[in-house]
Amino acid sequence: MDPGILSNLWIGFQVAVSPWNLFYCLVGVLLGTLIGVLPGIGPVATIAMLLPITFNLNPIAALIMLAGIYYGAQYGGSTTAILVNIPGESSSVVTCLDGYQMARQGRAGPALAIAALGSFFAGCVATLIIAVAAPPLAEVALKFGPAEYFSLMVFGLVAATVLAHGSLIKAVAMVVFGLLLGIIGTDVNSGVLRFTFGVPELSDGIGFVQVAMGMFGTAEIISNLELKDKREIFTSKVTHLYPTKQDLKDAWASVLRGTALGSMLGILPGGGALLASFGAYTLEKKVSKHPERFGKGAIEGVAGPESANNAGAQTSFIPMLTLGIPSNAVMALMIGALMIQGIAPGPQVMNEKPQLFWGLIASMWVGNLMLVVLNLPLIGMWVKLLTVPYRYLYPSILVFMAIGVFSLSNNAFDVLIMALFGVLGYICVKLECEPAPMILGFILGPLMEENLRRAMLLSRGDPSTFVTKPISAGFIIASVILLVIVALPAIRKKREEVFVEEA
Amino acid sequence: MKIKSPKDFWAGLMFMGFGVFFLVWAVLHYQMGTAVRMGPAYFPTMLGGLMAVLGLIVFLGSFAIEGPPVPEFSYRPLILISVGCVLYGYLMKPLGLVGATAALVYVSALGGHEFNWKEVTVLYIILMAFSWLVFVKGLTLPFPVWPEAFS
């Protein structure tokens, strides 16, 4: 191992253990767990809600807190999945399958413990992976010109649509929709106001906080209100938390496999925690000698996906930190948070702001440790929270969202935009159009246009520049291959199966 | 022709509508430029066209491939939640945090399954106190607390 990594991590830990950063890390992971436990509100909406608050923090503290929310939500989501058979987060859908069965057999304690320990192990490994993999990647990225960046973004968007559920073509259309919405506002090159329709507030473009809160926040609340409030809580007390020796023996290999798979899938654009947990469950079922035990309380079915989703949540920071390209909606918000702080995300961040970069990485490890230490004793409290009826929760969530959006610039127009995107998001849910690819497109819209323009200017209008430059060509070829693979009937069927299991 | 997949039918129409709109608007109002020096219309025209084509494919596919019907819209929560949020924004200046929060909490609560004046009022008071403590006192966000007429 490169000795530089150790000294870098040392810088990071010095930042991460400063009292205030520890405090924000704790706030982040607690909030994350809270929203992870509560079904119906996800990390995207929460991070969007808290963005305005981070204006007043320094960039390091802001990122540490927001990151804590993301991986904290993975921990919290599993608690609800195991005890209530409802995924608190989309990434813990598969944990319901075996986790809830374990709880019914009176083994909720070991299930929760193995989920937490597996996540912790995965978090440690993923932190190391980021520390090792990020610097060389950033070095490569520094050599990227506009053509490479454009192709990389194309690849990222293609990957995001491939991994979205449902119709591929609708996902691509949503990406394009997002790109178009993203370029509303003043054109940087010509100063022309595009698609602002004479509304002065639109000259800076539509804020992505408003878009994200509408699409993921209000739209989700409206959808939730359609369902009757019929949550069954697994009330029996959680006793004997500690897994038996047999449990550990059964689970350790699953934790390793889940961590490895999750770390890999997390790096992929569009990947992250959700895909990781599904992949890991499928893998566990495949390699198990007793696949018939799955769905009936197999501890491997909890250990694998839970490790994978936490590993994936963390390694999905890699493209964001090294390339400035978000791999999922949460990372898109993180980039937003950085930009609000006046930091342009990209490979230069690591060299120019080592404290920020390594501090964030070290804080992830610290946060994971906090989660494992805090969460197991606090399970009782989280379970109590689940008994709060939704009719109290959703007006509260709305108030926080409205305050957050209003405080962006003390302008009612921002709240109006959020409400409009809520309506759009609700329509999209009804028509089975995924909002996540749209958000990625929305973030990347201006960047893509800028890089396309520069690349074409450099090549004197010759579009072959995207395929004659080797790195750029590599991304384009990879995108095409991905699209072809997914369009193949056999794989399409498989992909549908995976997502059917989720529903 | 029979619509086999209503979800795709409407999604296709939506994509086509937005795509054509962006395309036409860009072409009519902004400079196209050339591939070397792209004008403000270039990128949106490309994207608008692409989106319209994708929408058309989805639209045509809805006549060929079977799909589930569009689930019914619940207009009550849709309207009340959206209106509640908008009211919050536009009432903040004239009525202050006290009035805006009241509008949002009561209107959105009406969008739920059950509405109980007492419960909602308690919830309102709690949320009001929390907003005031955390956002006005704690984070010192410049919100007017009371209606304009009182101050």
- A448-467 b/e with 16+ CB inside 10 Å = b? bbbbbbbbbeebeeeeebbe
Q: Give the model confidence (pLDDT) of A442-499 as tens digits.
A: 888 888 898 898 898 888 888 888 888 888 998 899 889 888 877 776 555 655 555 5
Of chain B, the end-to-end C-alpha distance in Å amounts to 65
Helix (H, G, I), strand (E, B) or coil at A193: strand
Residue pair B65/B4 in contact by the 8 Å Cβ criterion: yes
Whether chain B has a CB inside 8 Å of the CB on A177: the answer is yes
Residue B141 clears pLDDT 80, i.e. is over it? no
A vs B: CB pairs below 8 A: 187
Residues A130-150: tens digit of each pLDDT: 888 888 888 888 888 889 888
Check pLDDT > 90 for residue B14: yes
Q: Which one of A398, A448, A483 makes the best mutation probe of the B interface by having the most chain B beta carbons within 10 Å?
A: A398
- Selection from A256, A258, A254 nearest residue A291 by Cα: A254
Closest CA relative to residue A45, chosen from A166, A182, A181, A210: A210
Highest mean pLDDT among A16-30, A317-331, A370-384: A16-30
Give Cα A42 to chain centroid, integer Å: 10
Contact B112 A391 (CB under 8 A): yes
A181-190, A239-248, A418-427, B127-136: which has the highest mean pLDDT? A418-427
Question: What's the whole-number average pLDDT of chain A?
Answer: 82
Strand, helix or coil at A388? coil
Least Cα separation, residue A33 to chain B (angstroms):
20
Residue A228 confidence (pLDDT): 64
Nearest CA to A176 out of A446, A456, A441 is that of A441
Task: Answer with the residue of higher pLDDT: A238 or A250.
Answer: A250
Q: Does A401 contact chain B (CB < 8 Å)?
A: yes
CA–CA separation, B140 and B147 (whole Å): 18
Quote the CA–CA distance of A333 and A44 in Å, as a whole number: 8
pLDDT, one tens digit per residue, over A406-443 is 887 888 899 999 999 999 999 998 998 888 788 888 88
Residues of chain B with Cβ-Cβ distance to A190 below 8 Å are: 31, 39-40
Say what the pLDDT of residue A502 is: 43
Q: Which residues are registered as beta bridge partners of B38? A: B33
Q: Please name the residue of chain A whose CA is at the shortest distance from the CA of residue B107.
A: A395
B70–A430: do the CB atoms touch at under 8 Å? Answer: yes
Nearest chain A Cα to B127, which residue? Answer: A396
B89 to chain A, minimum CA–CA distance in Å? 4
Whether residue A95 contacts residue A306, with contact meaning beta carbons closer than 8 Å, is answered with yes
Per residue in A306-330, pLDDT (tens digit) is: 898 888 888 888 888 888 887 777 8
Cα-based angle A23, A27, A31 (whole degrees, multiple of 5): 170
Is it the case that residue A237 has pLDDT exceeding 60? no
CB contact under 8 A, B34 and A416: no
- Kindly give, in sequence order, each residue whose CB lies less than 8 Å from that of residue B151, ignoring residues fewer than 6 positions away: B144
Give me the helices (H) in A85-232, please: 93-104, 108-142, 146-162, 168-182, 208-212, 219-226
User: Which 67-86 residues of chain B touch chain A by CB within 8 A?
Assistant: 70-71, 73-74, 77-78, 81-86
Nearest to A329 by CA among A5, A66, A150: A66
Q: Which residues contact A309 (CB under 8 A, 6 or more apart)?
A: A74, A77, A91, A92, A119, A262, A273, A274, A276, A277, A280
Least-confidence region, from A243-257, A446-460, B41-55 = A243-257
Mutate to test the interface with B, among A399, A423, A492, A496 (most CBs of B within 10 A): A399
**Residue-level pLDDT at A159:** 78
B28 touches chain A (CB under 8 A): no
If you count DSSP H runs as helices and E runs as strands, how many of each does chain A have, helices first? Answer: 23, 2
Looking at the complex, report in whole angstroms how far the Cα of residue A43 sits from the nearest Cα belonging to chain B: 21
Minimum CA–CA partner of A57 in chain B: B139
- Specify whether the CB–CB gap between A402 and B89 falls below 8 A: yes
Q: Could you report how far apart the first and last alpha carbons of chain A are, in Å? A: 43
User: Chain B within 8 Å of A457 (Cβ-Cβ)?
Assistant: yes
Q: What are phi and psi of A331, to 5 degrees?
A: -65, -35
> Which of 228-257 (A) contact B at CB < 8 A?
228-229
CA distance B134 to chain A (A): 10
Question: Among A89-98, A209-218, A231-240, B141-150, whose mean pLDDT is lowest?
Answer: A231-240
Closest to A80 in 3D by CA, of A384, A311, A499:
A384
Q: Classify B140 as helix, strand or coil.
A: coil
Among A155-159, A241-245, B122-126, which is the least confidently predicted range? A241-245
Which are the contacts of B22, defined by CB distance < 8 A and separation ≥ 6?
Answer: A180, A195, B44, B47, B48, B51
Instruction: Label residue B46 by pLDDT band (50, 70, 90).
Output: very high
Helix, strand or coil, per DSSP, at residue A237: coil
Using CA atoms, how far apart are residues A330 and A401, in angstroms rounded to an integer?
A: 16
**Residues A247, A304 contacting (CB under 8 angstroms):** no
Give the DSSP per-residue string, B14-59.
Answer: HHHHHHHHHHHHHHHHS--B-SSSB-TTHHHHHHHHHHHHHHHHHH
CA angle (A420 as vertex; A419, A425 as ends), nearest 5: 95
Do residues A63 and A334 touch, judged by C-beta distance below 8 A?
Answer: yes
**CA–CA distance, A44 with B14 (Å, rounded to integer):** 25
CA geometry: angle A234, A235, A237, nearest 5 deg: 115
Q: What residues pair up with A455 in beta bridges, in sequence order?
A: none
Residue A32 clears pLDDT 90, i.e. is over it? no
On whether the CB atoms of residues A471 and A144 are closer than 8 A, the answer is yes
Residue A276: CB atoms within 10 A of its CB come to 33
Whether the predicted pLDDT of B85 surpasses 90: yes
Residue in chain B nearest A426 by alpha carbon: B78
Residues in chain B: 151
